[in-house]
Amino acid sequence: MNPLRKAFENGPAFIPFVTAGDPSAEKTVAYVVALANAGADIVELGVPFSDPIADGPVIQAAGLRAFAGGITVERVFDIVAAIRQQTQVPLVFLTYANIPFKYGYERFCARCAKLRVAGLVIPDLPAEEAGELLPAASQNGVALIPLVSPTSGHRLAKLTVHADGFVYIVSALGVTGTRDGFAQNLDDLIADLRKVTDAPLCVGFGIHTPEQASAIAGQADGVIVGSAIVKLIADAPDDLAGLAEYAGAMANATHSGRGQA
């Protein structure tokens, strides 16, 4: 079983996202450690890509700051190595297909395994193309995390056949960014997914308030928070206490249902 599954054993998981290298390698290490200490069950680390077509302005800007700070794929692995000296929080990478493709799928997945990066979220690698990465991923015990969207409809079974980490439900159309409303059919989507997979279902894209987090945690197995965290970092890069406070509140909201079932 993929180690990510453990993160869901006690109930809904809180999964914050930060962009690696935004604004520097040292800061990213500090943020991830702070998030883990504040109650994150998994941390998603963005590996910057020059043209992040699934990301809105907030995460795009984070990528630009990371490039300005000299981020490279090699340095992302260095960041993970530094994180690993301080916390064993489960990590997944979010990146675009060209990054592991260019690095070499086998080499990339082997590197991930060595640093205990347990999963990959790749928005531009849909089920139709995942086959080219899957052998390298599974041989190295790295989960390829499928994305499911409100438009997936009849595709759910196909999308989740290889879901050994968790399933990432994109809760809204369009790009990443904080939102107040989510796709109307989210409840139905979750119910339909439960029929085809027993993998944990995590919801992301737009979640930013504790109220939203606890509402989502009432139905799903995980709450992914990206743009809200990245924005906090952008606005106050030195305010680790502020980041820990916000993450703590989101973690508590996500965990509030634990033990009640």
Partner 1 sequence: MTELKDIPETSETRFGDFGGQYVPETLMTELEKLTACFNEAEADPDFQAEFHRLLNEYANRPSLLYFAKRMTEDLGGAKIYLKREDLNHTGAHKINNVLGQVLLARRLGKTRLIAETGAGQHGVATATVAALFGMECEVFMGKEDTERQKLNVYRMELLGAKVTAVTSGQGLLKDAVNAALQDWAARPEDTYYVIGSAMGPAPYPAMVHAFQSVISTEAKQQLQTVEGRLPDAVVACVGGGSNAIGSFAAFIGDPSVRLIGVEAAGQGVDSGKTAATLEKGSAGIFHGMKSIFLQNGDGQIDKVYSISAGLDYPGVGPEHAALQASGRADYVGITDDEAVAAFEYIAKMEGIVAAIESCHAVAYVQKLAPTMRKDQIIICTLSGRGDKDVAQIASYKGVAL
Q: At closest approach, how far in Å is the CB of 42 from partner 1? A: 20
Asked if 45 touches partner 1 (CB under 8 A), the answer is no
Tell me the backbone φ, ψ of residue 170, rounded to 5 degrees.
-80, 110
Asked if 214 touches partner 1 (CB under 8 A), the answer is no
Radius of gyration over every alpha carbon of the chain, rounded to an integer in angstroms: 17
Q: Which of the residues 53 through 72 are near partner 1 (CB under 8 A)? A: 53-54, 60, 67, 72
Contact 248, 37 (CB under 8 A): no
Out of 97, 112, 229, 244, the residue judged to bind partner 1 by CB under 8 A:
97
Contact 236, 242 (CB under 8 A): yes
Of 123 and 226, which CB lies nearer to partner 1 in the complex structure? 123
Asked if 173 touches partner 1 (CB under 8 A), the answer is yes
Neighbour order of strands in the sheet with 222-225 = 143-144, 117-121, 91-94, 43-46, 13-19, 222-225, 201-204, 167-170, 147-148
Please spell the DSSP secondary structure of 140-165, one letter per residue: TT-EE--EE-TT-GGGHHHHHTT-SS
Q: Which is the catalytic residue, given 41, 55, 164, 221?
A: 55
Of 1 and 154, which CB lies nearer to partner 1 in the complex structure? 154
Out of 10, 68, 107, 129, the residue judged to bind partner 1 by CB under 8 A:
129
Asked if 147 touches partner 1 (CB under 8 A), the answer is yes
User: Any catalytic annotation for residue 238?
Assistant: no
Please state, in angstroms and rounded to a whole number, the distance separating the CA atoms of residues 94 and 55. Answer: 11
In eight-state DSSP terms, residue 174 is: S
CB-based contacts of 114, cutoff 8 Å, min separation 6:
none
Asked if 148 touches partner 1 (CB under 8 A), the answer is yes
Asked if 243 touches partner 1 (CB under 8 A), the answer is no
Q: Which is the catalytic residue, given 22, 41, 44, 164?
A: 44
Out of 5, 84, 116, 155, the residue judged to bind partner 1 by CB under 8 A:
155
Asked if 81 touches partner 1 (CB under 8 A), the answer is no
Give the binding-site size for partner 1 (rule: CB under 8 A): 37
Please name every residue paired with 121 in a beta bridge, in sequence order, or none if there are none: 94
Candidates 11-19, 25-33, 36-44, 151-159: pick the segment binding partner 1 (CB under 8 A). 151-159
Q: At closest approach, how far in Å is the CB of 63 from partner 1? A: 10
Contact 144, 133 (CB under 8 A): yes
Q: At closest approach, how far in Å is the CB of 10 from partner 1? A: 29
C-alpha distances (whole Å) from 152 to each of 29, 52, 127, 242 are: 35, 21, 11, 37
H helices of 21-174, where? 25-37, 57-68, 73-84, 98-103, 105-114, 127-130, 134-139, 156-160
The residues annotated as belonging to the active site are: 44, 55
Q: Which residues bind partner 1 (CB under 8 A)?
A: 49-51, 53-54, 60, 67, 72-73, 96-99, 101-103, 123-129, 146-153, 155, 159, 170, 173-175
